[in-house]
Chains A and B, each alone.
Chain A
Amino acid sequence: MAEMIGARDLVVELGAERGLFRRRAGVRAVDGVSLSVTAGETFGVVGESGCGKTTLARTLLGLQRESGGEIRLENAVVSGVAPSLARRQRAAVQYVHQDPGAALDPWWRVGATLAEGLRIQGLTNRTEAADRIAETLRAVGLDPAFGERYPHELSGGQQRRIGLARILLLRPKLVILDEPTAGLDLSVQAAVLRLLRDLRDRFGLTYLFISHDLSVVRRVCDQVAVMYLGRIVEQAPAAELFAQPRHPYTRALLGAAPRLDGKAVAPTLRGDPPSLRAIPSGCRFHPRCLHADMSCLEREPVMQPVAAGHSVCCHHWREAA
Chain B
Amino acid sequence: MSDMLASAPEAPSLMTVRDLAVHIPTDAGVARILDGVSFTLPPGGSLGIVGESGCGKSTLLRAILGILPKGARVPQGQVLFQGQDILKTPVRGRIGFIPQDPYLSLNPVFRAGDQLLEGMRNHAPGTRDDHRKKLINLFHAVQLPEPQNALDKYPHQFSGGQRQRLLIAAALACDPDLVVADEPTTALDVTTQREILALLRSLISERNMGLLFVTHDFGVLSSVCEDVAVLYAGRVAEYGPTGNVLADPRHPYTRMLLACHPDRATDLIGIPGTVPAATAQPPGCRFHPRCPISRPNCAVAVPEAVRIFDGSRVACPYHADPLPEVALG
Contacts and interface: CB of A to CB of B under 8 A. Distances in A.
B223 A187 contact: no
A262 interface: yes
B261 interface: yes
Contacts of B193: 256, 258
Interface string A237-274: 00000000000000011001111111010001110100
Contact of A258 (B161, B223, B243): B223
B26 interface: no
Interface string A161-197: 0000000000000000000000101111111011001
A216 interface: yes
Given A216-B262, A253-B190, A268-B194, A262 B52 contact: no
A212 B192 CA distance: 12
Nearest to B187: A49
Contacts of B260: 186-187, 189-190
Contacts of B264: 260
A151 B236 CA distance: 31
Contacts of A261: 222, 243, 246-247
B107 interface: no
A91 interface: no
B160 interface: yes
A124 interface: no
Interface string B241-282: 011001100000000111011111101111100100000000
Contacts of B257: 186-187
A215 interface: yes
A295 interface: no
Given A186-B216, A272-B159, A193 B195 contact: no
A260 B218 CA distance: 6
A155 B53 CA distance: 10
A258 B270 contact: no
B30 interface: no
Nearest to B267: A194
B189 A212 contact: yes
B219 A258 contact: yes
Contacts of B192: 48, 272
B10 interface: no
A219 interface: yes
A203 B249 CA distance: 38
Interface in B174-189: 186, 189
Contact of B222 (A187, A260, A269): A260
A165 to B, nearest CB: 18
B269 A194 contact: yes
Interface string A265-299: 00011101000000000000000000000000000
Nearest to B264: A260
B190 A214 contact: yes
A303 B96 CA distance: 48
Given A212-B190, A256-B190, A191 B270 contact: yes
B198 interface: yes
B179 to A, nearest CB: 19
A193 B242 contact: no
A156 interface: yes
Q: Which of A186, A218, A256: most chain B Cβ within 10 A?
A: A186
B305 interface: no
Interface residues of A, number: 36
Contacts of A253: 190-191
Contacts of A260: 218-219, 222, 246, 258, 261, 263-264
Interface in B211-228: 216-220, 222-223
Contact of B263 (A48, A215, A264, A272): A215
B323 to A, nearest CB: 14
Contacts of A272: 159, 161-162, 192
Interface string B106-137: 00000000000000000000000000000000
B271 A187 contact: yes
Nearest to A214: B190
Contacts of B267: 194
B189 A48 contact: yes
A190 B219 contact: no
A177 B223 CA distance: 29
B227 to A, nearest CB: 13
A156 B53 contact: yes
B191 A219 contact: no
Contacts of A190: 260, 262, 265, 268-271, 329
Contacts of A183: 186
A231 B41 CA distance: 47
Q: Which of A183, A253, A262, A269: most chain B Cβ within 10 A?
A: A262
Interface of A: 48-49, 155-156, 183, 185-191, 193-194, 197, 212-216, 218-219, 252-253, 256-262, 264, 268-270, 272
10 contacts: A189-B262, A190-B260, A190-B268, A193-B268, A194-B268, A252-B191, A256-B193, A260-B258, A270-B195, A272-B192
Given A185-B52, A187-B270, A188-B52, 5 more contacts: A155-B274, A187-B260, A190-B270, A191-B270, A216-B262
Interface of B: 52-53, 159-162, 186, 189-195, 197-198, 216-220, 222-223, 242-243, 246-247, 256-258, 260-265, 267-271, 274, 329
